Amino acid sequence: MTTEPSPKINKILIANRGEIAVRVIRACRELGIETVAVYSEADRTALHVRYADEAVLIGPPAPRESYLKIETILDVARRTGADAIHPGYGFLSEREEFAQACQDEGIVFIGPPASAIATMGDKQAARATVMKVGVPVVPGSEPGMHDDDILAIASQIGFPIMVKAAAGGGGKGMRAVHKAEDLPNALASARREAESAFGDGSVYVEKMIEGARHIEFQVLADTHGNTIHLGERECSIQRRHQKLVEESPSPFMDDDLRQRMGEMAVRAAEAVGYVNAGTIECLVDKDKNFYFMEMNTRLQVEHPVTELVTGVDLVKEQIRIARGRRMGPAESFLHPKGWAIECRINAEDPYNNFMPSVGPITTLLTPSGPGVRVDSGVYRGFEISPYYDSMIAKLITWGDDRAEAMLRMRRALGEFIIMGVRHNIPFHINLLNSFSFIAGRIDTKFVEERFAMDVYESSPPAEELEAAAIAATLFAHRRAQLASQVVTRNERDTSNWKWVSRWERMSR
């Protein structure tokens, strides 16, 4: 518990780019706080540069020469008089040396203490820490072990296993191994990828929980010893360990499991003296046994779904907590309302193995209307660069229940027009027409093993068919309530090219 005076925050530097930088700038503007954007040479015309009160060039396009240069960013903070730094997600957001450097410089780091980042950033230290407070973890090895020792432990816990990078996340340095003879090559390739991505080639192995769901809990903790959770997010729709669709709440959860996992998330955060916003990520098997996987010590890409069902602005809460604010009774008794779904709109081709697409966006028309939110850092004419991730936007819809949220998402996806680069909107449209997704019968392998573009699922198990039929009936009922006319999938009377031509004629 802190006894220090609350820090004053009048100007915040956002050490990031893209949609998250725009998101933070908007929150600051509503709080009356000035903002400083940093940008690389590739981002001279980026939206976050235009929106911020000040913007400073920090280097060439490559992240290691710009967004990952701690001293350069701190120098900008000094020169512009920034009181605080918001790291966003990715880049330096989970680097304990960055948080510590901010503290040493007398600049508020809008995130957890460096010690919490260090503990939770070391996968083995994180496992050991949460185990002490009774949090269940997946059986596995320690990082830094020799291949022979890892092979012996893998044989003891049984295949299949997962090889994971000790210092990272986001699917980097991860390999699924189903046979002992494949382990040496998997270890070598995982180490190479981890070294390239995180500068640390340490890896470890864990038992693979087959048929598992990826469910995470959002936590908030202030400097006065109060820690709460804001419910769960379902993140099982993934490809190569990268999330594609998230929703809150999870269709798999019941009240008992939610309570037990929520209590676990709070204990895990408190175990490292956590402060600010963070996420406890878990694997949950088909029998509703759950296992701690890792803690993301930052704001998540998918935070908007939690915001829509709770009404809490997580970025503002981060800033208020950094200012020393005590969370009051309102946050202690949150009652989520409705359902929210997020689709990540990426510049990648779902018909060509999700190959990234780069180049200028020639046409961009975003959806709107009740229950629809679009978080984006791009605009018409903006160029998708090969230097950074391929995200164009996050499309989020809210409804009174899951059926309404899905209907709104279907409608919004149909309104989303992007030209100039290939994108994954067709993937999302097909996913929302999958009876397994409608029924909530998904796991982390669903996209890779049981879903294909423009291929209908066939011969489902009887229990899945029954669940899908019930869900589809509710879905149809909701559709009849909400709309007098609904255009079915792909039932557009003109091509995108004709549609845009008409739009341009009307705009003259």
* Nearest of 401, 410, 462, 460 to residue 431 by alpha carbon: 410
pTM: 0.84
Tell me whether residue 298 is one of the annotated catalytic residues: yes
What pLDDT sits at residue 294? 93
Here the tokens at position 179 are: 């046979």
Instruction: Please tell me the distance from the alpha carbon of residue 6 to that of residue 211, in angstroms, as a whole number.
Output: 47
* Nearest of 244, 116, 239 to residue 174 by alpha carbon: 239
Residues 225 and 101 in one domain: no
Residues 75 and 143 in one domain: no
Instruction: Please tell me the distance from the alpha carbon of residue 205 to that of residue 176, in angstroms, as a whole number.
Output: 10
Identify whether 130 is part of a domain.
no
Instruction: Please tell me the distance from the alpha carbon of residue 382 to that of residue 42, in angstroms, as a whole number.
Output: 11
Please pick, among 95, 298, 408, 478, the residue that the annotation labels catalytic. Answer: 298
Residues 242 and 197 in one domain: no
**What is the per-residue pLDDT across 58-111, written as a single tens digit (0 to 9) for each?**
999 999 999 999 999 999 999 999 999 999 999 999 999 999 999 999 999 999
- Dihedral over Cα of 221, 226, 231, 234: its sign: positive
Domain count, the chain: 3
Identify whether 144 is part of a domain.
yes
Residues 269 and 402 in one domain: yes
What pLDDT sits at residue 306? 97
β-strands 372-376, 391-399 pairing: antiparallel
Instruction: Please tell me the distance from the alpha carbon of residue 443 to that of residue 234, in angstroms, as a whole number.
Output: 10
Residues 365 and 392 in one domain: yes
- 364 vs 314, 361, 380, CA distance in Å? 28, 7, 5
Instruction: Please tell me the distance from the alpha carbon of residue 238 to that of residue 193, in angstroms, as a whole number.
Output: 20
Residues 317 and 412 in one domain: yes
- 424 vs 125, 239, 312, 354, 500, CA distance in Å? 37, 12, 29, 8, 19
Name the DSSP class of 240.
T
What pLDDT sits at residue 476? 60
Question: Within a 10 A sphere around the Cβ of 470, how many other Cβ atoms?
Answer: 12
- Among 110, 125, 154, where does a domain finish? 110
Decide: helix, strand or coil at residue 227. Answer: strand
Residues sharing a CB contact under 8 Å with residue 325, sequence separation 6 or more, in sequence order: 6, 222
Alpha-helical runs (H) found in 199-245: none
Identify whether 360 is part of a domain.
yes
List the domain range (segments joined by +) for residue 314. 213-482
Instruction: Please tell me the distance from the alpha carbon of residue 198 to that of residue 168, in angstroms, as a whole number.
Output: 6
- Among 161, 178, 207, where does a domain finish? 207
Identify whether 189 is part of a domain.
yes
- Among 207, 223, 243, where does a domain finish? 207
- 372 vs 123, 308, 395, 479, CA distance in Å? 37, 10, 7, 17
What pLDDT sits at residue 485? 38
Residues 282 and 417 in one domain: yes
In angstroms and rounded to an integer, the radius of gyration of the C-alpha atoms of the chain is 23
* Nearest of 53, 47, 90, 92 to residue 72 by alpha carbon: 92
User: pLDDT (tens digit, 0 to 9) for every residue of the chain, 508 residues total?
Assistant: 445 677 899 999 999 999 999 999 999 999 999 999 999 999 999 999 999 999 999 999 999 999 999 999 999 999 999 999 999 999 999 999 999 999 999 999 999 999 999 999 988 899 999 999 999 998 888 777 888 899 899 999 999 999 988 876 667 788 999 999 999 999 999 999 888 877 788 888 988 888 999 999 999 999 999 999 999 999 999 999 899 999 999 999 999 999 999 999 999 999 999 999 999 999 999 999 999 999 999 999 999 999 999 999 999 999 999 999 998 766 655 789 999 999 999 999 999 999 999 999 999 999 999 999 999 999 999 999 999 999 999 999 999 999 999 999 999 999 999 999 999 999 999 999 999 999 999 999 999 999 998 765 544 555 655 665 666 666 666 655 554 433 344 444 555 555 555 555 555 5
What pLDDT sits at residue 489? 42
Residues 257 and 397 in one domain: yes
- Dihedral over Cα of 452, 454, 460, 465: its sign: positive
What does 145-181 look like in DSSP terms, one character per residue? --HHHHHHHHHHH-SSEEEEETT--TTTT-EEE-SGG
What pLDDT sits at residue 167? 75
Here the tokens at position 336 are: 């989520």
The 10 Å CB-count burial string (b at 16+, else e) for 405-431 is: bbbbbbbbbbebebbbbbbbbbbbbbb
Residue 54 belongs to a domain with what CATH number? 3.40.50.20
β-partners of residue 163 are 175, 205
Identify whether 25 is part of a domain.
yes
Name the DSSP class of 140.
B
Length of the chain (residues): 508
Identify whether 385 is part of a domain.
yes
What pLDDT sits at residue 496? 58
What does 341-406 look like in DSSP terms, one character per residue? EEEEEESEETTTTTEE--EE--EEE---STTEEEEES--TTPEEPTTS--EEEEEEEEESSHHHHH
What pLDDT sits at residue 460? 55
Identify whether 331 is part of a domain.
yes
Question: CA 346, 349, 352: angle at the middle one, nearest 5?
Answer: 150
Residue 465 CB-half CA count within 13 A: 6
Identify whether 115 is part of a domain.
no
Residue 201 belongs to a domain with what CATH number? 3.30.1490.20
What pLDDT sits at residue 311? 94
Residue 462 belongs to a domain with what CATH number? 3.30.470.20
Residues 27 and 100 in one domain: yes
Residues 261 and 223 in one domain: yes
Residues 197 and 52 in one domain: no
Residues 200 and 334 in one domain: no
Instruction: Please tell me the distance from the alpha carbon of residue 167 to that of residue 122, in angstroms, as a whole number.
Output: 6
